[in-house]
Structure 1
């Protein structure tokens, strides 16, 4: 068995050269025992090994980068793992990209651990000045305890960052020394007795000032700043106190917050209030205001807006969905096929439509053009929400005793939900101001039913809903007002 000892300095380059030599000799992973200068030699070291044919291969560049990092891991088997995977690559180069390969996944995990250790070293090394401040090159020293052998591969970072000063980073296993612009390495040392830093008081003041107690997440903080490094960080001494006082400081910050909203927030509030405010103009001006509405994109394609019609003191308000093709052209609600069906059923139920206020939840016709035809499209929730402003204005002016909601769109505009309208039909729901809403299907639903028997049954139910509306009005208004709405029976 071949025993290969790698130096503690220049380890990655030494492993690369040794691996290249082993491939030339055709040595398999079982023929090699890898170790470092600190490893103990065994009885079977350096026994003659008869290698196979020399291996000629092109090593993937990504493996070279992987090995360069993994060589600095603390795992004693790192060199053997790397060579074993390299040996497999000679027959299957695609393995370097196989995320499902267990050995590659282990090596990638080791690579990630080394990179994380390097990141922590860059973040948590704290230098103390050990030389004379008026010297040509100031001198500093730091103590650090890395998890892996990352002093050597990370030292170049500090050499570039602090090229204008002399420094040394002392660790238990290796010491990096930067003197007169030259980087070298020496054996590790015990923790030196470093002097206090006059600038630490200023640093601690800054650290406390940037600590935001309202955003404290202890688990995330300890993940980024593991407690094993705290003993060498001057700011770590303040962390327990900052954590303990965080709730009180967060409450104090909330109490000290300004009471007046920012300018942008106030403008947004005023804009929202303008959209939610009720109509304050005269009754006669409301239809013209609805005609001029541009609150949603539906006004761009519709011929005109269609406001409600009827007495402003009507006890019954009838709310449909939206204007259809004929309503869009005529400018009046419920004059198309659905409106004509409503009139016939209302007449049978004894309801005189001219005595009620008739309107729609949405005031503009929404459609899809198909040749010369305009096919009805159901309004979405956003369009219903925009038009609710006008429906509320009509309700405020008429002040009906009862509202008859025809269909899911009217139900959504009035109650906030348009689902399960067939289950809810014939039921009464209360609005926030106490106004009762009787739910019924829309007449267009009856027109779409293909089965004559089912259409007849649903029409009878619809007529019963209209009769129920009349009975409710009779109970809510004076007898004279109820008589004006209902025909004698």
Structure 2
């Protein structure tokens, strides 16, 4: 049985050369044993796999990008699975589009695990200052789930190009001296520094910005699992902050002046002296002491968010990093529905934070709408894209994907009960109305939905980014702000 021995656990180049040769020679994947140098292999032994000079055939770039990540997974069969896919691609060039294929499904799961681990490393690495013979240096400790150190090293080089640093992990360490990247064998936790003077400042800052009224323990631990807490200086504060959250919330409530005759805070009535428009609605004084309705709403949305994280209603869950659910107060009177998350939203797990989100935020501010008082979500919860090199290019969701995700939009609207829902773009309008909508025809007027609330339709902020002519772009931006202003006034008029 032919045996291929790779140089290290994430040796993509070695796998690619060997796999192309094996496929070109017609060697079936089931006849090959893949091993890693120093880790043993087939106990019965075997001949080295033949390597052709330069076998000539092409495969989709998306497969190469996926394979580069999948070889970093800890799955022992990763090399064989990729070999099997490569063999099929010669006769099935659109193999990756068949997400009902068990092999494709498995590869997507392995890919997703690696991409999530890459994201966690970027989010939770904390450098501490140390001194060595060359002067100032920064070191960090991280425990990845997969073999992602080489794959992720370029990100840290770009982000900290002028800083000398090391990232230590149990299996592989990476070092940057501002000119050259190098790797060494794994380290022990004790080899990493424990802290530096800056951490005291950071902890003080973190404790002051912690908002107990927005505490959602389940959501927090999902995004920041406890296994990473030991690497984060601020994590040492979290148990006490959680324990004292209830008392701090009550203290905040007790210090808020209330208009007893109205049973609500002046800002909740939209009084002129209170800047911005509060879109969360009034809180009766008899309910404010416990925030009962708000907490029940939070629980309902949190339950939906947790359930959506495991959604497999359409094939988009496979290549996407994660479900991107809606955000906002559960009593919001205004809901915005976009098309789908983009590249940055897919990585961060939050809606409207990329380039279109920045335009959206700017337009909201110009229209006098406080985004934190609105609920913001998307018609489709997973990022649909085409891989082009290292870039992931947005791809418009299809009707089936919109219909599959409509269940989540309906659940969000049922939980929040907004007075006004805004469809940002044709996909959102299609989801909310159940039919194809011409934006220019429906824009600027209220449409009554089945539950009696109103739907308003306008363009998606990404439309503004695609306009190349500056004068035309400015004109369309002003129209977008005018739409939002009219919507703000309508919400206020509805009381």
TM-score (norm 1): 0.51
Residues in 1 aligned to 2:271 and 2:178: alpha-carbon distance in whole angstroms: 61
Residue 169 (structure 2) pairs with residue 171 (structure 1): yes
> Which residue is 2:270 aligned to?
265
User: Alpha-carbon deviations, 1:237-277, whole Å to 9, x = none?
Assistant: 111111111111111112222446139712599xxxxxxxx
Matched, 1:131 2:136: no
CA gap 1:211/1:58 in 2 versus in 1, 3 angstroms: same
Larger displacement relative to structure 2 (219-228 or 256-265): 256-265
Matched residue SS, 1:35: strand
2:64 equivalent to 1:41: no
Question: 1:383-440: CA deviations, max 9, x gaps?
Answer: xxxxxxxxxxxxxxxxxxxxxxxxxxxxxxxxxxxxxxxxxxxxxxxxxxxxxxxxxx
Evaluate the alpha carbon distance shift between residue 244 and residue 112 of structure 1 in structure 2; reply closer, same or farther with a 3 A threshold: same
1:246 match: 245
Which residue of 2 is the match for residue 98 of structure 1?
98
**Does residue 153 in structure 1 map to residue 161 in structure 2?**
no
How far apart are 1:77 and its partner, in Å? 0.8
Change (3 A) 1:197 1:106: same
The aligned counterpart of 1:366 is: none
CA contact (8 A) 1:2 1:45 kept: no
Match of 2:208, SS?
Answer: helix
The alignment partner of 1:262 has SS state of: helix
Q: Separation in 2 of the partners of 1:56 and 1:156?
A: 29
* Cα offset, 1:49, TM superposition: 7.4
Residues 27 and 51 in structure 1, CA contact (< 8 A), matched pair in contact too: no
**Larger CA Rg, structure 1 vs 2:** 1
Does the CA contact (< 8 Å) of 2:9 and 2:71 recur in 1? no
Matches within 5 A, 1:90-489: 90-131=90-131, 138-191=136-189, 192-259=191-258, 261-262=266-267, 265-266=270-271
Q: 1:49 to 1:263 in 2, by over 3 A?
A: closer
2:94 alignment partner, SS class: helix
CA–CA separation in structure 1 for the residues paired with 2:225 and 2:218: 10
Which structure's relative contact order is higher, taking Cα pairs within 8 Å and 6+ residues apart?
A: 2
> Does the 8 A contact of 2:139 with 2:192 survive in 1?
no
Deviation at 1:9, TM superposition (A): 7.0
Secondary structure of residue in 1 paired with 2:120: helix
Runs (4+) of structure 1 exceeding 6 A deviation are 48-52
Q: Name the counterpart of 1:5.
A: 5
Distance 1:158 1:112 in 2: 21
Question: 39-48 or 10-19, which moves further after superposition?
Answer: 39-48
Report the alpha carbon displacement of residue 196 of structure 1 after superposing the two structures with TM.
2.6
Output the CA distance in 2 between the equivalents of 1:16 and 1:46: 20
Shift of the 131–90 alpha-carbon distance from structure 1 to 2, 3 Å rule, reads same
Question: Which digits, 9 at most, give the CA deviation of each residue in 1:434-466, with x for residues without a partner?
Answer: xxxxxxxxxxxxxxxxxxxxxxxxxxxxxxxxx
Gapped regions of structure 1 (runs ≥ 5): 270-379, 383-489
Q: Post-superposition shift, 1:136? A: 7.6
Pair 61,50 (structure 1): closer, same or farther in 2 beyond 3 Å:
closer
CA contact (8 A) 1:31 1:49 kept: no
Q: C-alpha separation between the residues in 2 aligned to 1:141 and 1:213? A: 32
| 1:36 Cα offset (Å) | 1.3
* Cα distance in 2 for residues equivalent to 1:50 and 1:155: 32
Instruction: Summarize the Cα distance change of 1:10–1:137 in structure 2 as closer, same or farther, 3 Å threshold.
Output: farther
Q: CA separation in 1, counterparts of 2:70 and 2:30?
A: 20
Contact 1:144–1:171 under 8 Å retained in 2: yes
Instruction: State how far apart, in whole Å, the 2-side matches of 1:48 and 1:130 are.
Output: 46
Q: Secondary structure at the match of 1:156?
A: helix
Which stretches in structure 2 are left out of the alignment for 5+ residues? 259-264, 275-446, 450-495
Q: Tell me the SS of whatever aligns to 1:58.
A: coil
